[in-house]
Amino acid sequence: MSKENTITIDNKQFAFKAGETILEVAKRNNIFIPTLCHLKETTPTGACRICIVEVKGARDLVPSCAAPAVSGMFVRSESPEVIKARKNIIQLMLASGNHNCAIRKFEPDDWTSFHLKVLKEDNYNELCPVWGDCKLQDLAYRYQVVTKLLPVSLSKYPMETVNPFIIRDFSRCILCGRCVQACREIQVNNAIDFGYRGAKAKIVAGADVPLKDSDCVFCGECVQVCPVGALIPKETFKNKKRFEKTETVRTTCSYCGVGCQMELTVQDNKIVEINGAEDVEPNRGSLCVKGRYGYDFVASPERLTTPLIKKNGKLEEASWDEALGLVAARFTEIKTKHGADLMGVLTSARVTNEDNYIAQKFTRSVLKTNNIDHCARL
């Protein structure tokens, strides 16, 4: 290991590639450095400063997401000074808005009474919608930052709910800017940005209009990257039962041909949330409005649940045995009477390869015709 391209983090030497940041080197080597505003593949902003580390010889603590690794650098990722500064940052963030994270030193209690005590003390009647799934809360626990006795600032801006997909709760926004990065540098929809200054700072859409009146196309990238409860998927908030078991299933989106990889969150045999699968080609975590929010059809009451047979001009419910028997009999009859070349099959660009293979095998080997096609052209 030549000295030219190594840095030392927590007394261990690591090689790095030119241009890599301290954070990237640390992450690659499984050294924990907390981040909030940092978003992969975008320009580091150093806005939240939670990723600060101690660099020997530097006057101040250094934000590791924006600082390039320099040969011979000596870094401490979690020194007492770093911990103290991080505690401070977290405390300020918690105080900056509505963060009833229930971080308390109550006596061991059952969950309900603990919860009620916290709500009472915080003077809230609702628990944060991302309680238990919040990066800020995780950090508050890790660094044991207690919210008790912190004055809770009320948001200067009301919650926005006037669109079908996303709830914007400004009272929980920590202004980390990840949503802005996601919107401007990943999806490049340029719908949102920082607006106003100082204490009035706010993430605004267009000229501070509701999302639905802006350039927003509801891809939900901002919701997926929001580390706190400032951006919430509306349907999930409505349908997902909190603190109850969910399952996550990775699959391929069923809309266009891009084939985005996604994670379905399932609860009680129902999809309650969809997120892009991170770090996987072809979509690297991104989705569009249809892929992310267009899943109602799966559990729609309009789904067909039983075979139907037309009788006296009307479709009536039938058993599988009756329906399949009729189809097989009529196909056989038409084949005998008119020949297979007057019969056809339309398979589908919507079903799996396996379904398609069986459809063409059926057409060619059972019906004995090549009259098979699908809507590739439509």
Partner 1 sequence: MTNTIADIETADVILVTGSNTTENHPVLSTFIKRAALKGNTVIVVDPRKIKLTEHSQNWLRPNPGTDIAWINGLMNVIIQEKLHNSEFIKNRTEGFEAIQESVKLYTPEYVEKITGIPAHDIIETARLFAKADKASICYCMGITQHTCGTDNVKSLANLSMLCGHLGKAGGGVNPLRGQNNVQGACDMGGLPNVFTAYQKVDDPNAIKKYEAFWNITGLSNKPGLAVTEMIHKAEKGEFKSLYIIGENPLVSDPDLNHAEKGFRNLEFLVVQDIFLTETAKIADVVLPSFCFAEKNGTFSNTERRVQRVRKAVEAPGFAREDWKITCEIATRMGTNMHYNSAEEIFKEIRQVTPSYAGITWERIEKVGIHWPCPTVDHPGTPILHTTKFTRGKGLFHAIHHQPPAELTDEKYPLVLTTGRVLYHYHTGSMTMKSDGLNEMSPECFVEISQNDAAKLDIVDGEMVNVFSRRGKIKAKLSISSKAVDGTVFIPFHFAKAAANRLTNAKIDPVAKIPEFKVCAITIQKAA
Alpha helices (runs of H) in 96-248, residue ranges in sequence order: 111-122, 135-142, 178-181, 221-225, 234-239
H or E stretch at 263: strand 261-267
Nearer to partner 1, 8 or 371 (CB): 371
Between 35 and 283, whose beta carbon lies closer to partner 1? Answer: 283
Least separation in angstroms between CB 288 and partner 1 = 3
Q: How far is the CB of 53 from partner 1 (least distance, A)?
A: 29
Q: Which one, 152 or 309, has the nearer CB to partner 1?
A: 309
Rounded to an integer, what distance in angstroms lies between the CA atom of residue 117 and that of residue 114? Answer: 5
Residue 104 or residue 364: which is nearer to partner 1 going by CB? 364
CB-wise, 92 or 329, nearer to partner 1?
329
Distance CA 21, CA 300 (A): 48
Residue 283, number of CB atoms within 10 A of its CB: 18
Nearer to partner 1, 59 or 303 (CB): 303
Under 8 Å CB-to-CB from 373, ≥6 apart: which residues?
344, 345, 346, 347
| Least distance from partner 1 to the Cβ atom of residue 231, Å | 15
Phi-psi region at 343: left, alpha or beta (left = phi > 0; alpha = psi -120 to 50): beta
Residue 224 Cβ, how far from partner 1 at the closest point, in Å? Answer: 13
Name the nearest CA neighbour of 17 among 76, 63, 68. Answer: 68
- Nearest distance from residue 169's CB to partner 1, in Å? 18
Q: Least CB distance from residue 51 to partner 1, whole Å?
A: 24
Residue 78: HSE in the Cβ half-sphere, 13 Å Cα cutoff: 8
Using the minimum distance from each CB to partner 1, give the nearer residue, 15 or 280: 280
Give Cβ neighbours of residue 176 (< 8 Å, ≥ 6 apart): 36, 37, 47, 48, 227
Residue 363 has what DSSP assignment? I
By C-alpha distance, which of 226, 235, 290 is closest to 265? 235
Shortest distance, position 359 Cβ to partner 1, whole Å? 6
